[in-house]
């Protein structure tokens, strides 16, 4: 399977206008999305020979015999992938890059379709442009992933200004990230919302359409420090006929940490999130009739210090291990009136402390669930007795733990669980 990889960097010296390669990355997620949106199911993968020169990613391609045109997406040795703009390439074609003037002969056209991975890195400035993902065509095989370039760039249970951070300046219709495409994975990002006087000031809002689609939102640290905004949810699930899987996120200071507002029975899973200091509800499932609340599986969430309710009307098909420091866990299985102890919440470290008694050992085994969750936000492998929340107790501080990204092993888990094929 072809995999197209692009990079977004906020490192010193990077500016707008790159081609998305590691040597010339995009400057923002918005720039990446505008340049790369395409039909992933129609990308053509060919074996080429007689390669002369180096093709540039994103440059226009001309095909000599067929007269077709396209856009270069990948060239690695004799492997080449391109989207087709006009015509139908054939094995009689020589491909020419309009900017690079590189050439290659098509030997075989091997397959159609590719996955697309956007890797983010760098922290010399924040990414201040809200991201709207739309204009793509995907399916369960050829999907979009946004993830850290390396473990160093990955969000953890300790907020770190030295990591890549998305902190948009507002004016987007529905928050920092709006997902309007199907089959999208977003992993491991710090998101800071510090805007004022917006109506919608959400963190991540998934709302694609269509039957049998997937969205995976995991391993994020979302902070809200804005003011005067009307509606601000950390993660607001609001869509129909698709499945959202939200796990291992730390969500601090929002009006509602996770809002479940489906229009049918198609919410997937809410697993091991830590939600603190919500100004209304921690997890709110009370915006539509109870008919639509019998789908999500809700396990091992830790919700603390919400002004109104930690759990409000969250109706689940199955649930367990949910913990709360207020008087109830409203409709889900778990325990109330717990006391939580974090390593250093005052300095934004929400790892469970050794002396915690409210979440340690109160979780469940999610290794056989869909998706299978076997690590926490810090990449630590979870084991019995299982903790609730996104960051289990660990002997080493959060900043010192080296854990896996959403890499091929995790992707295999998702594939085997039926989320991505």
Label residue 210 by pLDDT band (50, 70, 90).
low
- Please give the pLDDT value at position 149: 97
Label residue 419 by pLDDT band (50, 70, 90).
low
Place of tokens 């948009």: 168
The pLDDT of residue 289 is above 60: no
- Please give the pLDDT value at position 237: 80
Kind and range of the H or E run holding 278: none
Q: Across residues 306-324, what is the average pLDDT?
A: 88
Could you tell me which of 27, 90, 87, 24 has the C-alpha nearest to residue 59? Answer: 24
Q: Are 339 and 325 in contact (CB under 8 A)?
A: yes
Q: Are 119 and 154 in contact (CB under 8 A)?
A: no
Could you tell me which of 93, 346, 390 has the C-alpha nearest to residue 217? Answer: 390
CA 421/CA 418 separation, integer angstroms: 7
CA distances to 122, 162, 374 from 390, rounded to whole Å, are 24, 21, 11
Q: Are 138 and 88 in contact (CB under 8 A)?
A: no
Per DSSP, what are the bridge partners of residue 70? 61, 84
Q: What is the pLDDT of residues 372-412, one digit of tens each?
A: 999 999 999 999 999 999 999 987 555 544 344 444 344 44
Residue 351, Cβ neighbours under 10 Å: how many? 29
- Please give the pLDDT value at position 385: 94
- Please give the pLDDT value at position 267: 62
Using the 8-state DSSP alphabet, how is residue 399 labeled? Answer: G
Here the tokens at position 316 are 């689940």
> How is the chain split into domains, by residue range?
44-112, 115-339+399-416
Q: What is the pLDDT of residues 62-110, one digit of tens each?
A: 999 999 999 999 999 999 999 999 999 999 999 999 999 999 999 999 9
Place of tokens 């960051």: 391
The pLDDT of residue 207 is above 90: no
Which segments of 261-315 are extended strands (E)? Answer: 269-271, 274-276, 281-284, 297-299, 302-304, 309-312
Higher pLDDT, residue 159 or 182? 159
**In the chain, what's the furthest Cα-to-Cα distance?**
73
- Please give the pLDDT value at position 294: 46
- Please give the pLDDT value at position 400: 45
This prediction's pTM: 0.92
Label residue 122 by pLDDT band (50, 70, 90).
very high
Q: Which of 116-130, 167-181, 389-403 has the lowest mean pLDDT?
A: 389-403
**Which residue stretches of 216-323 are H helix?**
none
CA 41/CA 50 separation, integer angstroms: 27
Label residue 172 by pLDDT band (50, 70, 90).
low
Q: Which of 80-94, 263-277, 284-298 has the lowest mean pLDDT?
A: 284-298
- Please give the pLDDT value at position 416: 41
Here the tokens at position 63 are 């095909």
Q: Are 258 and 283 in contact (CB under 8 A)?
A: yes
Q: Which of 56-60, 120-124, 152-156, 243-247 has the lowest mean pLDDT?
A: 243-247
Q: What is the pLDDT of residues 37-54, one digit of tens each?
A: 999 999 999 999 999 999
The string of DSSP codes covering 341-371 is -EEEGGGTEEEEPTT--SSTT-----TTSSS
- Please give the pLDDT value at position 265: 55
Q: Across residues 106-126, what is the average pLDDT?
A: 96
What percent of the chain is modeled with pLDDT above 90?
70
CA 289/CA 292 separation, integer angstroms: 6
Here the tokens at position 380 are 């630590």
Could you tell me which of 253, 220, 214 has the C-alpha nearest to residue 237? Answer: 214
Q: Are 351 and 397 in contact (CB under 8 A)?
A: yes
Q: Are 139 and 41 in contact (CB under 8 A)?
A: yes
Contacts of residue 382, defined as CB under 8 A and 6 or more positions apart, other chains included, come to 363, 366, 373, 374, 375, 376, 392
Q: Is the link from the previous residue into 5 a cis peptide, with omega within 30 of 0?
A: no
The pLDDT of residue 369 is above 50: yes
């Amino acid at each position: 399977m072809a995999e197209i990889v692009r990079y977004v960097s906020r490192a010193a010296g990077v500016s707008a206008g790159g081609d998305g390669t590691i040597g010339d990355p995009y400057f923002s997620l918005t720039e990446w999305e505008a340049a790369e949106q395409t039909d992933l199911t129609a990308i053509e993968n060919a074996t080429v020979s007689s390669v002369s020169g180096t093709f540039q990613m994103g440059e226009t391609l001309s095909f000599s015999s067929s007269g077709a045109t396209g856009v270069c997406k990948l060239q690695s040795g004799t492997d080449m992938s391109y989207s087709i703009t006009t015509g139908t390439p054939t094995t009689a074609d020589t491909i020419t890059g309009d900017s690079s003037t590189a050439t290659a002969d098509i030997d075989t056209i091997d397959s159609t379709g590719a996955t697309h991975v956007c890797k983010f890195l760098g922290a010399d400035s924040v990414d201040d442009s809200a991201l709207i993902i739309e204009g793509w065509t995907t399916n369960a095989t050829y999907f979009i992933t946004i993830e850290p370039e390396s473990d160093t760039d990955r969000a953890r249970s300790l907020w770190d200004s030295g990591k890549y951070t998305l902190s948009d300046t507002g004016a987007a219709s529905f928050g920092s990230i709006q997902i309007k495409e199907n089959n999208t994975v977003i992993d491991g990002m710090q998101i800071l919302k510090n805007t004022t006087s917006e109506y919608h000031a959400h963190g991540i809002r998934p709302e694609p359409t269509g039957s049998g689609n997937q969205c995976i939102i995991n391993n994020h640290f979302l902070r809200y420090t804005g003011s005067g905004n009307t509606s601000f949810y950390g993660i607001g699930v609001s869509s129909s006929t698709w499945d959202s899987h939200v796990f291992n996120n730390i969500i601090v200071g929002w009006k509602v940490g996770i809002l479940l507002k489906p229009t049918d029975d198609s919410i997937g899973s809410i697993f091991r999130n830590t939600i603190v200091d919500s100004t209304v509800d921690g997890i709110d499932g009370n915006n539509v009739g109870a008919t639509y609340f019998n789908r999500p599986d809700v396990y091992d969430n830790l919700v603390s210090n919400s002004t109104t309710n930690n759990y409000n009307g969250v109706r689940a098909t199955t649930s367990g291990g949910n913990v709360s420091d207020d008087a109830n866990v409203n409709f889900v299985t778990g325990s109330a009136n717990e006391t939580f102890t974090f390593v250093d919440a005052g300095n934004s470290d929400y790892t469970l402390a050794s002396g915690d008694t409210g979440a340690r050992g109160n979780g469940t085994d999610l290794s056989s669930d869909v998706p299978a969750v076997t690590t926490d936000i810090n990449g630590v492998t979870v084991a019995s007795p299982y903790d609730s929340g996104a960051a289990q107790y660990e002997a080493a501080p959060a900043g010192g733990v080296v854990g896996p990204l959403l890499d091929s092993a995790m992707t295999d888990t998702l594939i085997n669980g039926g989320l991505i094929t």
